[in-house]
Amino acid sequence: MDKIKEIVESFYSKAVKDVIIGYHFRKIQEGKSVDVLSPDISFFKDHIPRIVTFWKFQLLGEKTKETFNLVNSHIPLSIRPGELDRWLTLFHQTLDEFENDELIALWRERLSFFEKRFRVFI
């Protein structure tokens, strides 16, 4: 399993269960989990690859035919500042669990960039 996919799946497994931001993630699950508040990562089988592709593009410059308009796709969620803070906290905690200093450092830079972009709209 590649590191980016592993990190994305680890983050999602935390985020979908999170008391503060989990409800945003559970809105996009495919099907209905028996445990409504704690769906298995398999309920995101179509979404996770898209997110992995996004991060490979951001971190590795991998070409993709997909287009990403991160801010516009999240505006309808009405994300609040505290929710953005929680997303960042969970993402940084997830990154702390992995080794690959160069990749993790670059990922943290990209998170900071996206945080600034999102703060303009929330």
- Between CA 42 and CA 11, with CA 2 as vertex, the angle to 5 degrees is 50
Q: Tell the residue number behind the tokens 């497994």, with chain if given.
A: 13
User: Which residues, 6+ apart, have CB-to-CB distance to 102 below 8 Å?
Assistant: none
* pLDDT above 70 as % of the chain: 95
- Between CA 105 and CA 24, with CA 62 as vertex, the angle to 5 degrees is 70
Contact assessment for residue 17 and residue 38, using Cβ atoms and an 8 Å cutoff: yes
Domains of the chain: 3-121 (1.10.490.10)
- pLDDT tens digit string along 5-54? 999 999 999 999 999 999 998 888 777 766 666 777 777 888 899 999 99
- Between CA 69 and CA 81, with CA 75 as vertex, the angle to 5 degrees is 115
pTM comes to 0.87
- pLDDT tens digit string along 84-94? 999 999 999 99
